[in-house]
Chain A
């Protein structure tokens, strides 16, 4: 039974919008929660796309566009699909032990908080919260042994144009394993009540948290209250969560098919990717000498799967062939 409620909320300095640090704080709060305790963490990320633990990053997110615009790709610890975050979005996390974990009660905190602000919230299935049939909140979960985390997003005033800019990827080109996202019709809370702001919603969540559990939460904590050990664990995890190994090198194999026409004929490339590397490659073309396609294959095999590495690899080709357009073309295909 829950006897103590904690609230954690960072002061909204620029560091508090770092998505990797936020996930690391959440992980710390989850794995250090005491028995009979529930911690509510309220956090916001700067522009980023957050994918599920077992998703293919390239399939879910237009990574080039996102990073060119100064956004970040983030892989969370829980399951499910890709979501876009900006500062118009508020995230919540409930961290408890397994015996005290109650998704029904936790979800009630969210619905109660938004209903109080005039939102006709309804729960849909196990994971979504809707208003008039459109989703404003998605949830996901992770648990290990005795420790559980239930977290979610609440769209207050998210830039929906940007959202579709980064999440729309031509998925036909990428085939492989990994968990696929499900498209939803989404809505911002401000479309129902123009006066809703993130601070107002946070206040309402804190009140609903106390009401649902019938307990007055302790003092609101932020990382200034954390011990040195805690901060060092958080820093290490933030580094790991923002590293290539976690973001790009998970064993979720897929094939990227690139196809197009150059002045001299058609080209089709199949890049077989695993752990962020091109492990195998096939090149079909009528535009050049078959020997050249064998060279392309040998240059690309073992290359990192990103457009810079691929461009570097194919740039070693021109000396070998008379038709430079193929090199340009492969670059262009990857840009798209």
Chain B
């Protein structure tokens, strides 16, 4: 399992990559995809939707389980990753390339972990 240093991580196993202070990409971590198993579907929000810190913004389906994906920030969905609709397996194969949404206008963010902190967190 890998945990790139340039990303931040959440306790609910999302990663976030800030482009600048108010713009970021969000996806699920290598640990999350490993725990979930083969992912077959992703429900994404639409461009223009608002996401809210601590609330679900998407969900994924794996082996009959639907799991919500939580947003670590509040902001506006500027872009969604359409390729996940055609190739949901990318979430398993390349979790850090398989971003779900690009969020702009970020107004607040939860306390995030570094790669090192996240690894310690999942080892607990």
A92 to chain B minimum Cβ distance, whole angstroms, is 15
- CB distance B64 to A145 under 8 Å? no
Complex: how many Å from CA A46 to CA B71?
A: 38
Complex: how many Å from CA A142 to CA B66?
A: 5
Question: Residue B79 at the A interface, CB < 8 A?
Answer: no
Query: Please, which residue of chain A has its CB at the minimum distance from the CB of B37?
Result: A126
Residues from chain B with Cβ under 8 Å of A179 in the complex: 40-41, 61
Residues from chain B with Cβ under 8 Å of A177 in the complex: 41, 85-86
- CB distance A142 to B65 under 8 Å? yes
B86 to chain A minimum Cβ distance, whole angstroms, is 8
Question: Residue A88 at the B interface, CB < 8 A?
Answer: no
- CB distance A144 to B62 under 8 Å? no
- CB distance B56 to A52 under 8 Å? no
Question: Residue B81 at the A interface, CB < 8 A?
Answer: no
- CB distance A77 to B12 under 8 Å? no
- CB distance A53 to B63 under 8 Å? no
Question: Residue B83 at the A interface, CB < 8 A?
Answer: no
B5 to chain A minimum Cβ distance, whole angstroms, is 28
Question: Residue B67 at the A interface, CB < 8 A?
Answer: yes
- CB distance A143 to B41 under 8 Å? no
Query: Please, which residue of chain A has its CB at the minimum distance from the CB of B12?
Result: A145
Known: A144-B56, A145-B12. A139 touches B64 (CB 8 A): yes
Complex: how many Å from CA A251 to CA B82?
A: 12
Question: Residue B119 at the A interface, CB < 8 A?
Answer: no
Complex: how many Å from CA A52 to CA B61?
A: 10
- CB distance A54 to B43 under 8 Å? yes
Question: Residue B50 at the A interface, CB < 8 A?
Answer: no
Which of B40, B66, B68 is A145 in contact with, Cβ under 8 Å? Answer: B68
Complex: how many Å from CA A28 to CA B15?
A: 30
- CB distance A127 to B64 under 8 Å? yes
Query: Please, which residue of chain B has its CB at the minimum distance from the CB of A79?
Result: B61
- CB distance A78 to B85 under 8 Å? no
Question: Residue A192 at the B interface, CB < 8 A?
Answer: no
Residues 40-73 of B contacting A (Cβ, < 8 Å): 40-41, 43, 56, 59, 61-68, 70
Question: A: which residues have CB within 8 A of B?
Answer: 52-54, 77-81, 126-127, 139-145, 177-179, 250-251
Question: B: which residues have CB within 8 A of A?
Answer: 12, 40-41, 43, 56, 59, 61-68, 70, 85-86
10 closest A-B pairs (Cβ-Cβ)?
A80-B64, A141-B65, A144-B68, A79-B61, A54-B41, A140-B64, A142-B66, A79-B66, A79-B64, A53-B66
